[in-house]
Structure 1
Amino acid sequence: MTKAKPKKVQNKLIVFPREQLFRYLRSGKFVALSSDWKHENLPLLIDYELIVVTEGTLFLRYMDEDFTVSAGEYLILPPSKSKRSGFKKAYCSFYWSHFTVDMKTLPARITQDEAYVYERAGCFLIPQTAPVPRLEKMVVQMKQLQDLERNNYPDITLNAAITSIVAELFGQLISEIPRNLDPIGNNQIYSDIADYIRRNISENIKIRDIADAFGYSPKYLSHLFSVVSGSSLKQFIMSQKIETASYLLTDTDKTISEIAASLGFSDMHNFSRSFKKVTGLSPTAYRNTYSKRLLYHV
C-alpha cells in the first residue's frame, strides 16, 4: 500500500480569542549542532507552539502538511493528535514558545474564506506561517520571556508575556501596511523606504541619501513619510537601528563597539547615548538585564 504524500501547505489562519490571557508553558532557543539535524517525532496534544526561525531553514511536518520555514519567518502549530517531525535535514536556529488557549467551541485553525465569521465573533486571526515584519523586536521579546522564567517570575507575568508576544506578532502583521491608504501609491513608497533603511542599516543613513535614491527632495520625502507613517523619517531610521541593536545585544556576543560600528554610528559613545535615549538603559545595562538564555540542543 502506497503511503499518502503530505499535503502542499495552503496557508491557513490560526484563531485566537481577543479577551483572554494565554497560559504560558515553556520556551527556549534551539540551535542545531550541524546541518545533519532533523526535528524529532514529538507530540503536541494541547499546546500551541510559536516558532521564530533566526538562522537556516526548518523543515517540519505537522498535521499531514510540510512546512518550510526560513530565517526571518514564523510558524504557529495548533494543538492536534498529529506529531511534529522533520522531513528534511538542515541546520537551523529558532526561538520557540509553548502555551495553551481556552478556545471553548472555537476552532484552532480556519481557512481564509472563514475569516469574516470569526472576526465578527471577537477573534483575531494570524496566518499560520509568514515572514516576521520586525524580526529583531520579536526575538528580543521572546528572549525577555525566557529571562522572566529563569528569574522565577509568577505565572501571571509569564502568561501576560506570552499573550503580549502573540499580540505583538498580530500587531506587526496588521500595521505592516500603513492605515491611511491612498490611491496614488504613497504606501508603496513607505514600504520601499522602510526596506531601503533595513537593507542599509549598517550605514550612517541620511535623509538626503534616501531622497536621492528615490528621486525626491529631502523636505518633500520627509513630509510624505510623516503623513503616511505618523512619525518622522529621522525617528524611523533611529528606531530601526535601536531595534536591531537590541537584538544584537541579546542574541549575539558582539561587543558594544562592534555593534555600534555595524549600525553606522560614529563611535561607541554616540551609540550608547542614542540607545539610552530610546530605551532608558545603556547598552551594557540592557544586555545584562536580558543576559540569561535557555539554549537547547536537540
Structure 2
Amino acid sequence: MNAHQLRIERPVHMELTGKFVAPSADWIHLSRYLMDYELIVMTHGTLYISGDDETYEVSQGEYLLLPPFTRQKGAKPSDCSFYWLHFSSSQNLPKLDLSRYTHVHENGRIVIPQYGTLRNPEKIVVMMKQLQDSVRGYNEQTLNDYMSTVILCELYNQLFFEKNNPGKSFKQTQLYNDILDYIKWSRHENIKVSQIASHFGYNEKYLSHLFTTVSGISLKQYILQQKMELAKYLLTDTNQNVSEISSQLGYSDPHHFMKSFKKIVGLTPTEFRNAYSKRLLFYE
C-alpha cells in the first residue's frame, strides 16, 4: 500500500476545510487535478472515487489521503457525507510502499497510508469540526495550520500507536483489542463490566485487572470515556437535542448523562456544543 511522508517540524499549511453532504443519491464527485493534499474522513455512506488509476470505496469510519497532482474524479454515484481538509507542505516527499518500509516515524516526519480505517473516527471528526470553528471564528492562519497538523498527527497515532509501543503478549493484545471493539459497537447500550466478562468467558475481576494493566485506566472508566467520545461526536455533527443523545447512549435519565459528561469533559453538553458551533457545510 502507498503511504505519504509529511514533514511536521513546522506545521502544514491549511488551504481549505469543510463538511460535504451529497445533495442527492445521484451525486458524483467532480473531476479535477489536486494542487495540494486532500484528507477525506467519511461520516456516512460510501464515496466512490478515483485517484489517478486507482479506484477507492471509502466508507463510514474510513479515510482517504490523496497527494498533490492527483487526477481525482468520481467513480460512480455516492450518497454520502464526509469532512475534508486541503493542506500543503513545505516539502513534498515521495510516496512510500509500506510493504517494503518498516520505520513509519522519525523526528520531524510522519508517514500516513493513503487509505485506511480509523480506530476512533469520532475523535478525528470532532477535531475537524473544531478546526472549522476556528476558521469561522478567528480565521487566523497560524492557528489553522497548527490545528491541521494536530489532526494529521492524531491520524498517524491512531494507525501506528500499538506498533510503536510493543511489549504486550499476543494473547493479551488480542483480547484487549477484542474488548475495545466490543465496547465500540455496544456504546449505545447500558453496557457493564460484568456483561463484557460474560461475553468473553472471563472472570470479571481478572478481565478488569488485565484491561487496566494494558491500558492504564479501568475498564469501567474506559466504557464511560467511549460513551462521552460518541456524545461529543453527536453534539458536534448532529442537531439532536441532549435528551435524544442521552437515550441513544443507553441512559434512561438525561440528568445522569449530563452529570457524567460534565465529569469527563469539564463542560455540560450544551456548553460543549456551543463552544464549537461554527460549521462549514458544502453541497457542491
TM range (shorter): over 0.9
3-state SS of the aligned residue for 2:101? helix
The one-character-per-residue Cα deviations of 1:228-250 (angstroms, maximum 9, x if unpaired) are 11221111101100000000001
Deviations 1:178-215 (Å, cap 9, x if unpaired)? 93443451011011111111111111111111111111
Kindly report structure 1 stretches of 4+ aligned residues shifted beyond 6 Å: none
- How far the C-alpha of 1:42 sits from its partner, in A, is 1.9
Asked if 2 retains the 8 angstrom alpha-carbon contact of 1:58 and 1:90, the reply is: yes
Alignment check: 8 A CA contact 1:204 1:265 kept: yes
Report how far residue 154 of structure 1 moved: 1.4
Aligned position for 1:277: 263
Is this contact kept in 2: 1:16–1:125, CA < 8 A?
yes
Q: Does the CA-based 8 Å contact 1:178-1:228 persist in structure 2?
A: no
Checking the alignment, whether the CA contact within 8 Å between 2:43 and 2:61 is kept in structure 1 is: yes
Which shows bigger deviation, 30-39 or 111-120?
A: 111-120
Q: What is the distance in 1 between the residues matched to 2:164 and 2:17?
A: 32
CA distance in 2, matches of 1:228, 1:269: 32
**Cα gap change, 1:120 to 1:95, in 2 (>3 Å):** closer
What does residue range 154-169 of structure 1 map to in structure 2 within 5 Å?
154-169=140-155
Structure 2 letter corresponding to 1:90 = S
Quote the residue 1:7 is aligned against.
Answer: none
Normalising to structure 1: TM-score of the pair? Answer: 0.90
Tell me the secondary structure at the aligned position of residue 266 of structure 1. Answer: coil
Residue 163 of structure 1 deviates from its aligned partner by 0.2
What amino acid is aligned across from residue 85 of structure 1 in structure 2?
Answer: K
Is 1:128 aligned to 2:114, yes or no? yes
Give the equivalent residue in structure 1 for 2:202. 216
Any conservation in 2 of the 1:181–1:187 contact (CA below 8 Å)?
no
Q: Deviation of residue 20 (structure 1)? A: 2.1
What is the aligned length?
Answer: 284
- Structure 1 residues 218-227 or 62-71, which shifts more? 62-71
TM-score under structure 2 length normalisation = 0.95
Of 254-263 and 118-127, deviating more is 118-127
Distance change in 2, residues 1:251/1:118 (3 Å): closer
Q: Which residue of 1 aligns with 2:215?
A: 229
The answer to whether the aligner puts 1:48 opposite 2:37 as a matched pair is yes
- CA-based RMSD of the aligned residues comes to 1.8
Aligned partner letter, 1:76:
L
| Aligned residue among 90, 103, 110 for 2:78 | 90
Q: Provide, for residues 81-120 of structure 1, a one-character-per-residue CA deviation record: whole Å limited to 9, x for no partner.
A: x32110111201000011111126x32x211255347756
Structure-to-structure mapping, 1:68-147, within 5 angstroms: 68-80=57-69, 82-103=70-91, 106-107=93-94, 109-116=95-102, 119=105, 123-147=109-133
The correspondence for 2:49, drawn from 60, 63, 66, is 60
Deviation at 1:39, TM superposition (A): 0.4
Letter in 2 for 1:36: D
Q: Which residue of 2 aligns with 1:34?
A: 24
Q: What runs of 5+ residues in structure 1 fail to find an aligned partner?
A: 1-10
Q: Which residue does 1:17 correspond to in 2?
A: 7
Sequence identity percentage: 46
Correspondence 1:245 to 2:245: no
CA distance in 1, matches of 2:104, 2:218: 36
Cα distance in structure 2, aligned partners of 1:184 and 1:159: 39
C-alpha distance in structure 1 between counterparts of 2:172 and 2:127, whole Å: 31
- The 2-side partners of 1:198 and 1:240 are apart by 7
Q: Is the 8 A contact 1:21 1:163 kept in 2?
A: yes
Question: Which residue type is aligned with residue 72 of structure 1?
Answer: G
Shift of 1:62: 1.3
Letter aligned with residue 57 of structure 1: T
